[in-house]
Structures are given as structure tokens and as C-alpha cells.
Amino acid sequence: MGEQEVPTGSRGKRRLGVMGGTFDPIHHGHLVAASEVAALFHLDEVVFVPTGQPWQKSHKAVSAAEDRYLMTVIATASNPQFSVSRIEIDRGGPTYTIDTLRDLRSLNSDSDLFFITGADALSQILTWRDADELFSLAHFIGVTRPGHDLTDDGLPKGGVSLVEVPALAISSTDCRMRVAQGDPVWYLVPDGVVRYIDKRQLYRGE
């Protein structure tokens, strides 16, 4: 991965990062990725957007949107640069990033959008709805993730930046399995999320 130039964006515009995910549960891999990209790309804010109905995960059980939303709020509450949007949860129906970017553009006409994805998600992006149009609405930033190759092969030139972030071999799947087996998730997810999982008895029967 070569050194990437940081896109300057439009003069005078806010720089709004968008971190989309199922967040079932949110973990430190998500938070470190967002924090690193915010610093490297001089973002004013990163909005975390929990998916409503992730259509490519429809064969899997996904926790209630309100639980995933609240865990995301708990995990991000202490960082003044981070916020959480209900836009995908409240829209209803299958979640498409193209709809989210269109909505965020009209709600934030003063901002350039930077969509943050891990290497695994970036490699699937051409399977997303209206993939061609995604790159005209936001600049995409792919981040390294252990076990996945980070590449922009086949993606529009100038539409994507690739960045290395501290490697955290954490996945939501692994966190859910650990809870199901009675193993700790302390320090993989924020403390408040450990408490929330316990309080709501999430992932116990999986």
C-alpha cells in the first residue's frame, strides 16, 4: 500500500466521516478505525450509522436495531467528535448505503462526506446497490483489517483512499461467540457495551 494523498475536499466545507456498520456489537476495531481516519483526514466529525436491515446478512440472525443503536451510542458517547445517526434504522426496509449517502448529503449540504470501510467491506463494494454512483456522493476510505487484503482494484481512480490503521483482530462475530461460550469480551468492546450485553442478555443463546 503506497502513501495516499489526503483529498483536500471543497474549500470551506466541513469534513464529515461516515462509519457504517451492523455493530452487533460495536467493538474497538470500529472505534480505532474511525479515530485514525478522523485524524489522518482532518475530519470535523464522524457519524456512526448502524444499519437498519443489512440485506447481505439476511441469512444471519442480527440483533434488534435498538440494541445495536444503543450500544453504538454508549461506545461513542465520550468522544466529542463522534455521533450516531438513526437514519438507516428509521428509514425501514433493506439498508442501502446509496440511500444513506443521498440523505446525508441533503441534510449536510455544508459538508464533504468520507465513508469509512474495512478491507473486507471494501472488497464487496461492487455488490452494493448502485455501486457506480456511490463514489460521486462520498470519498471512500478503506482501512486495513487483519486477515483481509486491502485493495482498490476495480474501483474508480481517485474515489478511494487506502490507509493503514493499528491492527485489531476483533470481529463482532467473535465477540458474539465469546459471550455465547461464557468467555469475556472485556477490552474487546468498551466497558459500557460489556455491561449492556450483560444487562440485555444478548448473544447468550447463539
Ligand X SMILES: Nc1ncnc2c1ncn2[C@@H]1O[C@H](COP(=O)(O)OP(=O)(O)OP(=O)(O)O)[C@@H](O)[C@H]1O
Ligand Y SMILES: O=C(O)c1ccc[n+]([C@@H]2O[C@H](COP(=O)([O-])O)[C@@H](O)[C@H]2O)c1
Neighbours of 28 (CB within 10 A): 17
Among 193, 194, 122, CA closest to 160: 122
CB of 33 to ligand X, least distance (A): 4
Q: Taking CB under 6 A as the rule, does residue 97 contact ligand Y?
A: yes
Among 56, 171, 177, 200, binds ligand X (CB under 6 A): 171
134 binds ligand X (CB under 6 A): no
Binder of residue 97, out of ligand Y, ligand X, none (CB less than 5 to 8 A by kind): ligand Y
Q: In terms of CB distance, is 40 or 137 closer to ligand Y?
A: 137
C-alpha to C-alpha distances, 121 to 80, 99, 118, 140, 176, nearest whole angstrom: 26, 17, 5, 11, 19
Residues 98-157 that bind ligand Y (CB under 6 A): 98, 121, 128-129
Residue 63 makes contact with ligand Y by CB under 6 A: no
Amino acid at 93: G
Compute the half-sphere exposure of residue 33: CA atoms within 13 Å on the CB side of its CA.
31
Q: Which residues bind ligand Y (CB under 6 A)?
A: 20-22, 51, 54, 56-57, 95-98, 121, 128-129
